[in-house]
A and B are shown apart, each in its own frame.
Chain A
Amino acid sequence: MTNLLGRKSVPARLSRRNILSYSVTALLATTMIAGSTTSFAANVDLTKWSPEYVKSIAGTAEVDTAAECAKVVPSDYKGRLSYWWVGPTQAQPEIDHKMDAEFWAAWKKAYPNIETDAQSLDYNDMLNKVRTAALGNAAPMVAKFPILWGVEFAAKGQLKELKPEDVGYATDDFWPGAMKSVTYEGKTYGIPTNNETMGFIWNAKIFADAGLDPEKPPATWDDVVKYSKQIKDKLGINGYGLVARQNAGNTPFRFMPQLWAYGGGALDETSEQPTYKTVELNNAGSKAALQAAYDMYVRDKSVPASALTNTQNENQNPFIAGQLAMMIAHPAEYAKMVDLASKATGADKAAADAVVQNMRYGLLPEGPARRAVVFGGSNVHVFAPELVEGGLDVDAARAFICFSTGPEWSTKLAWVGSNPGHLDGFTTKWMKERLDTIKFLDVTTSMLPSGIPFPVIPEQAEIMNIIVPDMLQNALTGKMTVDQAADDAAQKVQELLDGM
Chain B
Amino acid sequence: MTIHVAHRSGAMPAPNLRRKPNLFQRILLHWNDYTYIAPALIVMLLVIAFPIYYTVELSFFKTPANLSMDKKIFVGLDNYWAILTSKSFWNVTYNTLIWTVFSTFFAFVLGLGAALALNREFLGRGVLRAVLLVPYVISAVAASYVWKWLYHSDFGVIGALSVQFGFTDRPINFLDNIYTALPAIIVVNIWKEFSFAMIMLLAGLQTVPDQLLRAAQVDGANAWQRFWHVTMPHLKGVSMVTILLLLVTNLNSFIIPWIMTGGGPAGATDIWITQIYQMAFGRIRFGMASAYSVILFIVMMLLGYFYVKALTRGDEAKVE
Q: Residues of A at under 8 Å CB distance from B?
A: 131, 135, 151-152, 155-157, 238, 245-248, 304-309, 318, 323, 458-459, 461-462, 465-466, 469-470, 473-474, 476-479, 499
Contacts and interface: CB of A to CB of B under 8 A. Distances in A.
B96 interface: no
A308 B154 contact: no
29 contacts: A131-B67, A156-B66, A156-B68, A246-B263, A246-B265, A247-B262, A247-B282, A304-B154, A305-B154, A306-B152, A306-B175, A307-B176, A308-B176, A308-B264, A309-B175, A458-B65, A458-B66, A462-B65, A462-B283, A462-B285, A465-B282, A473-B267, A477-B176, A477-B177, A477-B178, A477-B266, A477-B268, A479-B178, A499-B62
Nearest to A475: B266
A309 B260 contact: yes
Contact of B176 (A135, A152, A309): A309
A305 B176 contact: yes
Interface of B: 62, 64-69, 148, 152-155, 171, 173, 175-178, 260-268, 278, 282-285
B230 to A, nearest CB: 48
Q: Is the interface of A mostly helix, strand, loop or mixed?
A: helix
A20 B274 CA distance: 47
Contact of B153 (A131, A305, A474, A476): A305
Given A305-B153, A305-B176, A306-B153, A462 B284 contact: yes
Nearest to B263: A246
Contacts of B152: 306
Contacts of A477: 176-178, 265-266, 268
Given A304-B153, A461-B282, A462-B283, A309 B261 contact: yes
Given A245-B264, A473-B264, A155 B68 contact: yes
B69 to A, nearest CB: 8
Given A152-B67, A156-B67, A309 B262 contact: yes
Contact of A318 (B155, B176, B262): B155
A135 B154 CA distance: 46
Nearest to B285: A462
A438 B266 CA distance: 40
A469 to B, nearest CB: 8
A308 B265 contact: yes
A459 B265 contact: no
A307 B152 CA distance: 10
Given A306-B154, A499-B62, 6 more contacts: A246-B264, A308-B265, A309-B175, A309-B262, A469-B264, A476-B266
Interface centre among A135, A248, A308, A466, by most chain B C-beta atoms within 10 angstroms, is A308
A309 B264 contact: yes
A474 B66 CA distance: 28
Nearest to A462: B283
Interface centre among B175, B265, B282, by most chain A C-beta atoms within 10 angstroms, is B265
A10 B177 CA distance: 60
Contacts of A151: 66
A18 to B, nearest CB: 20
Contacts of A470: 266-267
Interface centre among A238, A465, A473, by most chain B C-beta atoms within 10 angstroms, is A473
Contacts of B68: 155-157
A152 B263 contact: no
A99 to B, nearest CB: 33
A466 B278 contact: yes
Nearest to B264: A246
A461 B280 CA distance: 12
Contacts of B265: 246, 308-309, 473, 476-477
